[in-house]
Amino acid sequence: MHVHHLYADAAGETHFGDIEVEWETEGPGGKMSRRLPATGIIFRATPGTYDYAWHTAPRRQYIVNLDGAVEITVSDGETRVIGAGEVFLVEDTHGKGHFSKAVEGKFRHSLFIPID
């Protein structure tokens, strides 16, 4: 399982990385990772007009897209479209931040899972 990772380096430049989930157990119900820390869950509904200029993440958090995509550009110039069912970890709480916008004008439901 793949997780997109947004982070800021020491100079405040934001980048994408990739995290591969490590499986801890496997059984009849499938594979499971170790339990990761979380402090809550936030439900979000984002309109198809979403176009949020450069900003940093308000906290370290996982975001899970449930039914739509988001296009994210980081300050080093890389752009990714993160689709329905995909997970990303945002940790760019300082620095230049990222730009995010709706894809194809479509509404998006997502879960924010804070880890701080």
pLDDT tens digits, one per residue of 33-55: 999 999 999 999 999 999 999 99
The secondary structure of residue 36, as a DSSP letter, is: P
Q: pTM above the 0.85 mark?
A: yes
- Listed residue (26, 22, 19, 61) closest to 44, CA to CA: 61
Q: The tokens of 4 are what?
A: 């997109």
Maximum distance among all Cα pairs of the chain, rounded to whole angstroms: 46
What architecture is domain 2-22+38-114?
Sandwich (2.60)
Enumerate the domain spans of the chain: 2-22+38-114
pLDDT band with cut points at 50, 70 and 90 for residue 116: confident
What residue type is 63 in one-letter code? I
CA–CA separation, 77 and 98 (whole Å)? 10
The secondary structure of residue 50, as a DSSP letter, is: -
